[in-house]
């Protein structure tokens, strides 16, 4: 009886893996395989043009990161971008969701309007903002009209990265707003009724009822924000024409990886090492965020 049961279980397991085999094949070929190959390249000096050649250099590519000034600049720019964009877009998304959940008139219309930036292509959105940020663009026309000084948003190293931050906060906050909006529907009305009996006002209910209840959702939103912001590439590439300028002010780690991988000869292995280092940074940041949020203790 035991042998029959084991054979049946083995057969069912085999059938399960057979039905999953197309998905496993695709994941291995397009996700797991490239990741392992990138790790392999990170320990080699790779020449792709004029015949592929690989020379094992051990940890030389990783040691080079510490001496690469452009890599340090890219890491600083990316860190600044993450530290500003993630908290601001998270808070803005929560405020927008709470506002739309308050039962205001025209709520459905504003939900659609707020979510529109998320539906817009990233490249198209960047081109629109580049037009707005132009010396003769919409924003400078408005500033000039009200008597304020105009700015060279695209050419000033002190402003260029901030301009990208504003654009991304405006574009990504609505996506997280929808997640918060769904979570707000699950908060029991009895909690707000109890707060009313205790004499809490709207702001107190927001910070002492809504925010604590949404802590697991906030943890998810922050993690998704961390992963997305660390991988900033397309906006920086379009804004600077692929250079990371002006004066490396919009150079991010992913853009630098692209430059070393496809624009500079003999640095494919170094680019893979940068990508691997970035993956480790994202992993560590995510684990630290989960630890500090104490998400597990809420379940």
Q: Based on the domain organization, do 155 and 236 belong to the same domain? A: yes
CB atoms under 10 Å from CB of 229, counted, come to 23
Tokens of 130: 């580049």
Structural domain includes residue 255: yes
CA distances from 292 to 91, 208, 215, 288 (A): 17, 19, 11, 6
- For the chain, the domain total comes to 2
N- to C-terminal Cα distance for the chain? 41
Claim to verify: residue 33 and residue 124 sit in the same structural domain: no
Q: Are residues 174 and 242 in the same domain?
A: yes
Whether 131 maps to a domain, the answer reads yes
What is the rounded distance in angstroms from the CA atom of residue 90 to the CA atom of residue 26?
Answer: 34
- Round to whole Å and give the CA distance between 126 and 258: 19
The reply to whether 63 falls in a domain is: no
Q: Are residues 139 and 261 in the same domain?
A: yes
Burial 95-134 (b: 16+ CB within 10 A, else e): ebbbebbeeeeeeeeebeebeebeeeeeeebbeebbebbb
pLDDT-based confidence at residue 280 (cuts at 50, 70, 90): very high
The pLDDT of residue 186 is 84
Q: Is residue 132 part of a domain?
A: yes
Q: Do 14 and 78 fall within a single domain?
A: no
pTM as predicted: 0.86
Q: Are residues 107 and 28 part of one domain?
A: no
pLDDT in tens, 4-51: 667 778 888 888 888 999 999 999 999 999 899 989 989 988 876 656
Comparing C-alpha atoms, which of 197, 165, 171 is closest to residue 79? 165
- 122 and 75 share one domain: yes
Tell whether 237 is covered by a domain. yes
- Quickly state the pLDDT bin for 1 (edges 50, 70, 90): very low
Query: Both tokens of residue 88?
Result: 């601001």
Q: What is the CATH number of the domain that holds 228?
A: 1.10.3720.10
Q: Are 74 and 244 in contact (CB under 8 A)?
A: yes
Which among 91, 121, 96 has a CA at the least distance from the CA of 110? 96
DSSP symbol at 158: T
What share of the chain in percent tops pLDDT 90? 33
194 with 89, same domain: the answer is: yes
Same domain, 85 and 120: yes
Tell me which residue range forms the domain holding 26: 2-42
Residue 99 has what pLDDT?
86
The pLDDT assigned to 287 comes to 87
- 18 shares its domain with 76: no
Q: Pick the residue with more confidence: 81 or 54? A: 81
Does 55 reside within a domain? no
**How much is the mean pLDDT over the chain?**
86
Domain check: are 93 and 200 in the same one? yes
pLDDT tens, position by position, 112-162: 888 888 888 888 888 999 999 888 888 989 988 898 888 888 888 888 999
Q: Is residue 116 part of a domain?
A: yes
Please, are residues 29 and 260 in contact by the beta-carbon 8 Å criterion? no
What percent of the chain is predicted at pLDDT more than 70? 95
Distance CA 113, CA 17 (A): 45
Question: Looking at the structure, do residues 79 and 163 belong to the same domain, yes or no?
Answer: yes
Structure tokens at 141: 């026309």
In a domain, 54, yes or no: no
What integer pLDDT is reported at residue 243 of this predicted model?
A: 87
Please give the sequence-ordered ranges of beta strands (E in DSSP) within the chain, or none if there are none.
44-47, 53-56
In terms of C-beta density within 10 A (0-12 exposed, 13-18 middle, 19 or more buried), how is residue 212 classed?
exposed
pLDDT digits (tens, 9 = 90+) for 73-123: 999 999 999 999 999 999 999 988 888 887 777 777 777 888 888 888 888
């Amino acid at each position: 009886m035991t042998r029959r049961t084991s054979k049946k279980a083995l057969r069912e397991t085999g059938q399960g893996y057979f039905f999953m085999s197309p998905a496993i094949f695709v994941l291995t070929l397009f996700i797991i395989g490239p990741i392992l190959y990138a790790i392999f390249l990170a320990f080699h000096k790779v020449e792709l043009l004029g015949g592929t050649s690989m020379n094992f250099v051990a940890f030389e590519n990783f040691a080079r990161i510490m001496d690469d000034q452009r890599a340090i600049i890219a890491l600083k720019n990316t860190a600044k971008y993450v530290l500003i964009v993630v908290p601001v877009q998270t808070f803005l998304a929560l405020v927008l969701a709470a506002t739309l959940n308050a039962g205001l008139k025209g709520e459905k219309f504003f939900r659609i309007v707020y979510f529109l930036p998320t539906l817009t292509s990233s490249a198209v959105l960047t081109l629109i903002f580049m037009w707005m940020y132009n010396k003769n663009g919409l924003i400078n026309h408005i500033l000039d009209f009200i008597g304020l000084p105009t700015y060279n948003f695209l050419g000033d190293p002190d402003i260029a990265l901030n301009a990208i931050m504003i654009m991304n906060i405006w574009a990504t906050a609505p996506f997280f707003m929808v997640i918060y909006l769904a979570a707000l529907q699950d908060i029991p009305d009895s909690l707000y009724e109890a707060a009313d009996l205790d004499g809490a006002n709207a702001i107190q209910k927001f910070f002492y009822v809504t925010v604590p209840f949404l802590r697991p959702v906030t943890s998810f939103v922050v993690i998704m924000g961390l992963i997305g912001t660390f991988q900033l590439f397309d906006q920086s590439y379009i804004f600077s024409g692929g250079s990371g300028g002006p004066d490396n002010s919009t150079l991010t780690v992913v853009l630098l990886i692209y430059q070393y991988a496809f624009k500079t000869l003999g640095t494919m292995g170094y680019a893979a090492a940068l990508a691997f280092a970035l993956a480790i940074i994202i992993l560590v940041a995510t684990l630290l965020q989960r630890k500090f949020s104490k998400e597990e203790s809420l379940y």
